[in-house]
A and B are shown apart, each in its own frame.
Chain A
Amino acid sequence: MSTLDDKAEETVEQVETTKCPEKEQKNRACGIILIFFVIGLVGSLAVGWLIFPKLLYSQKKQPIDFNHVVHVAAVEDGCESCHYFREDGSFSGVPKLAQCVGCHEEAQGENPEELKFVEEHVTKGNEVPWLVYSRQPDCVFFSHASHIKMGKLDCVVCHGHIGESKHSRVYEENRLTGYSRDIWGKNLAGLKKDTWDRMKMDDCAECHAELKAKGETVTTLPWPINWMPRPYEKPASSQVRVNIQKDACFVCHK
């Protein structure tokens, strides 16, 4: 970018500053430079931490404000009362209208959200376009059966304490990818405290590696896909890869 002239000027300037070591001037110059540095730093931090998330995510409201607490109290089988396994082994996920109608043929109470639900959806027969916080990309295959039925995992491990929510959270949609913010996690830095804070591939891998370290037969990712450092497992080598019995793309991808 710089032309010869620019370069010449630069040298001159440098010469000037070194030749006139007036402290005050220098300090002031340093100060200004520092201020600019700080402005840049703070500004970009603000952009990165405060504005960027606002730009990245759009806020969406669930069509109906759903109260899990009330529902969990009203059913007998906990989560599986509504989020159940079908006979063919598939997982039903978010209930369809037909399921809700079982109880909500008519409004059960005075709650305006319920009235709205009955009016807009039950009577008209329109499915509720729920926004699914945990929706994964199409290339992901996830078996609820193997985790819940065979692995005996609790729903909370991945989904958190959603069953204790009285209101539906705002659904934050990533404008770029179209997926929920829950996949990457609330924390933009990607830090997590609890197992349910994030739902990325590394989070699957982390748990699986832990189990593998304990000697369980689970799928782990072959090196070098799983390049993230894991303190509790020695770095995988090609030797390890061959010995691992449960690995391969199609286990988690379709």
Chain B
Amino acid sequence: MSGLLLAVVLVPLLLAPLVVHPAWRWLVLIAPLPALASLALLPPDATLELPWLLLGTALGLDETTWVFLLFTTLVWSLAAVPVVERLGTAAGTGRFRLLFLLALAGNLWLILAREPVGFYVGFAIMGLAAYGLILHPGGLMRRRAGRVYLAMTLIGELALFVALLLMAQTQGVTWSLPATSAPDGTVIALLLLGLGIKAGLMPLHPWLPLAYGAAPAPAAAVLSGAMSKVALLGWLRLLPLGQVALPEWGMLFVWLGLVSLLVALGVGLVQTDPRRVLAYSSISKAGLFVLLLGLLLLEPTLTPIGVGALTLYAAHHALVKSGLFLGLGLRDLDPARPLVRAGLILLALALAGAPLTSGALAKSVAKPVLVSPGWIWLDLALMLATVATMLLMARFVWLIWPAPGVDDGHRGALPMLRTSNDTQAPVGSQPAFPIWSLAAWILLLGLVAGFPFVLGEPSAWPTNAGAMLIAGLIAAPLALAIWRRAPGSGRRVRRRSLGDLVVLIEPILAAQLWTGRALFGRWNATVEAARAHLYSLGERVGSPPPDPERTLRAWPTAGWLWLGVTVLLLLLVLVAP
């Protein structure tokens, strides 16, 4: 029975080559099914040992894993519907589906993995495959976003790899740091760096607004919903939570979390693209996760509550955020469809943590941890963050509201109105509205709406009502003024990429690079001159003896040799015990 766990990972991997063919694209829908089946059929502590694979692979479930697997699978299954229906058979979609399944396989593998090697391999497959998802269907903006994503992901993976290596050095290939009084600071710092990039923690966030803004709707949905939660899972698994109090690292997590939480909200408020608004909201939520982790590191006794709260929060955020991205994809086809708009507003309310939504439930569950240190200023900062989150979501709703004049009449020409996401809408004459994608999305809406009532106590429902009121008092006059076209409201906020550190860093890097090249060129010229001098000296002495190695150094030979050796090594690794 526990062989099903292997199928969870293996089925997407095996299906991946098949879905390249347009006729078999529906196979994408099947790929997440084994995961759903294993959730339904397997006991919550099923494990599977595969000692012959890699350094000894083990797959298994526990409580946290179960929840992560559940929401991850849900997000992937629901995102698979528009991949099949919306993206259709256009050029390049075969590649997209292939990478989609590879990323899915990686994501599921790392969730199920019970040892660091499997975790890292899944993490790497997922991270690299997602590069192709962001690039689809090409274009300058996406290439730039992809480049930044790839560079940062590679840095993150390297850091994670080193951290895992260091851990393996001290304790062998097992989970979780040892319960010694002084865990290695380097490991924690590397984990923070490696997984912080995936989560989008400030200042490691620059890839996130670019990638979310550029990726197609289903890709953005899985990126934000499923893949970025992986960082949280990694922290929960690898940090020594609940074993020792680590005030040093706890304070660092608290500090970084607070900065992310507050700064990202401020930056998000001045964005003009709804996708970027959502991206900054993701960054601020990553800050909240890190803040909670920091509080757990400060106060280990809270770990059981804290881990549960974090898991629940992750589930809520994954469902809501992926729903928002999928909904944006639907909205781009037809901005005036009231059902889509109403659904988006519901999701935005949930993300803002309005009373009676999943956000309020998640907040109320996390509250015991948040108030644990008893710092007044932390409470105030969190209150501020709650209000600002609501304002950010108000801004989001404002941005998705169709421009005046769009409502009345000409619905057909709408896809052309959006310029920033030109390729989202299928080019061509009057495409049919993707009914199945809409149905899947409505299913997700139902899940989100039912979330607080199924899981939460009634006492958790009215959380955040006060903050909601304050946010309303701030936002309502503004909305009124802009809606009524007050003088001056037409003036746009000066466009500013305050948060896009990339914009500021790129010229600096370019300058550094330029100088490096200039200096290197100088150096090269000197070396060349010296070499020419030496050669002329050598020729005076006589021609050198024939070099038997030269044939081996020719490019084709060397390439084949390298590939052969690599394959041989791989085979040895797979076969060797």
A and B: interacting chains: no
Footprint of A on B, CB under 8 Å?
A: none
Footprint of B on A, CB under 8 Å?
A: none
